[in-house]
Amino acid sequence: MYKFAFALAAAVVATSPVLAQSAGPAAGSEPFNGAYVGVQGGWQQDRQKLTVTDSTGSSSASQNKSGFAYGGQIGYDFKLTPQVVLGVEASLTGRTGESFIDDGNGGTARLKQGRTVGASARLGYLVSPEGLLYVRGGYANAKFNIDDTFGRVSEKRDGYVAGVGYEQIVARNVSARIEYDYSHFGTDNLPALATGLGANTADLKYTRNAVTAGLNFRF
């Protein structure tokens, strides 16, 4: 990702839903206790932030790009007590949109976020018999692509996700949810870039914010 880092370095130097009412679960079933599969979609913003530090202090520049997030999930909920739910979930998501940046060679490069796979757990509390408030945490792996006149460079980055959400039973064996997630995909230390700028360190951090809504079909 060095070409993208150099594009940000130029900036551093220059600037030193309302959910539906519940229709009730299926007869004989228990809400939030069993397997489910679902779909999700919403807003996602990816951010790359470059921080350069020298003897006089540090300065930063960042690039934010938003798009439509889409994907699906599969999971299982366990009712630990009448009001406490523990769940596990695997997900696969993508995002529309791309960024165009100076590639450092007099041309333009295209930065695009690819697929993200995740595996997480959630812990929830039933604020009503059919309404679950929860927190989530786990692992995520995101793919980033840069295309320029020399071809494509792809990178897969490991990270973590933490979030909070609310899920409501809305129909027979169907629940709807809304969720906010923050993801961090690590920080690259770029000594070659720091040397080229005459600085001590240059660090490039990858983060993400997302607000999504989803439907789960329960078994």
- Reported as a pLDDT band with limits 50, 70 and 90, residue 150 is low
pLDDT higher than 50, residue 89? yes
Return the domain boundaries, the chain.
2-16+31-218
Q: What is the pLDDT of residue 41?
A: 97
Distance (Å, rounded) from C-alpha 51 to C-alpha 193?
11
Q: What is the pLDDT of residue 189?
A: 87
Tens-digit pLDDT profile for residues 53-66: 988 888 888 888 89
Cα separations in angstroms, 114 against 48, 91, 125: 15, 14, 33
Q: What is the pLDDT of residues 112-143, one digit of tens each?
A: 788 999 999 999 999 999 999 999 999 999 99
The residue among 194 and 158 whose pLDDT is bigger is 158
Query: What CATH number is given for 2-16+31-218 in this structure?
Result: 2.40.160.20
Between 97 and 185, residue with greater pLDDT? 185
Evaluate if residue 153 carries a pLDDT over 80: no
Q: Which residue has the higher pLDDT, 24 or 19?
A: 24
Name the token pair of 70. 């889409």
CB-count exposure of residue 21 (10 Å: 0-12, 13-18, 19+): exposed
pLDDT of residue 131: 97
Integer CA distances (angstroms), 166 to 11, 85, 122, 123, in order = 39, 12, 11, 11
Residue 92: what pLDDT?
97
In percent, how much of the chain has pLDDT > 90? 55
Name the pTM for this structure.
Answer: 0.81
Q: How many whole angstroms from its chain centre is CA 145?
A: 16
pLDDT tens digits, one per residue of 186-215: 998 888 878 877 889 988 889 999 999 999
**How high is the pLDDT of residue 101?**
63
Question: What tokens were used for 98?
Answer: 């791309």
